[in-house]
Amino acid sequence: MNQSPWQPISPEKPARPVRTPLNRERIVDAAMRVLLDQGYEAVSMRKVAQALDTGPASLYAHVANKRELDQLMVDRAAEGIVVPAADPAKWQEQLKDGMRSMLKVMRAYPGVARAAIGQVPLGERAMASTEAMLAILKAGRVPDQAAAWAIDMLSLYVTAVAFEESVQGASGWTLEDVEGFIAGLRTYFEGLPVDRFPLTVALAGALVAGSGGDERFEFGLEVIVGGLAAMVPADQ
């Protein structure tokens, strides 16, 4: 029907933009952006909701709480972990390579180590990494109980190293700042009373050595993997 001439002409309403449906993947995408841009402490359900231009209540339909969001972020990061296919002849170096890959991923996502601490990673990607590392341990004939406990220890060691690095990185120190701190620490150790701290004074240089690179991390790998290798039963 034609509009009557005495009726006012209604302005056309602008079409509302169609929003992309909210889902877990988009929520984790936003959480990872907040993590990288602002650090772990900034990641909250409210902050992630703001990044998605929605309210926190919308997130709870897909993610139960902040603890589950942490799990999802850890699992997203775990996608980048590369663990070699188990080879009995190379199992010790393969175990180290898997741990190196874990550290590389955590360095790529500063703060994800904080999300991982105190949690058992139950996401599919994280569980796949665990399964692959267990396969390496069993290829090396590490006893079942030792292999089971080792999985937790390996992850805890890498996570602790990454977390410490993220804390140091958050301080905004430059390389010169780090070198200055190490030099000052050595001077402090060397200046301690020799009668009370003879070994600390004598080993002052060794105590601060390798603080600027991966030497300490590699030392830990040698100790851990060497200890596991010592548990392998002798050939019958």
Average pLDDT over residues 153-179: 84
Q: For residues 146 and 93, what is the distance between their CA atoms, to the nearest angstrom?
A: 18
Mean of the per-residue pLDDT values for the chain?
89
Average pLDDT over residues 106-130: 91
8 pLDDT tier (thresholds 50, 70, 90): low
Query: Which domains does the chain possess?
Result: 24-63 (1.10.10.60), 78-230 (1.10.357.10)
**Cα separations in angstroms, 118 against 25, 113, 175:** 23, 10, 30
Give the global pTM: 0.84
Looking at residue 236, what is its pLDDT? 46
Indicate if the pLDDT at residue 10 is higher than 90. no
Looking at residue 166, what is its pLDDT? 84
Q: What is the pLDDT of residues 186-233, one digit of tens each?
A: 999 999 999 999 999 999 999 998 876 789 999 999 999 999 999 999
Q: E-strand spans in the chain?
A: none
Q: For residues 182 and 179, what is the distance between their CA atoms, to the nearest angstrom?
A: 5
Average pLDDT over residues 108-121: 89
Site of tokens 């999802």: 72
235 pLDDT tier (thresholds 50, 70, 90): confident
Looking at residue 20, what is its pLDDT? 73
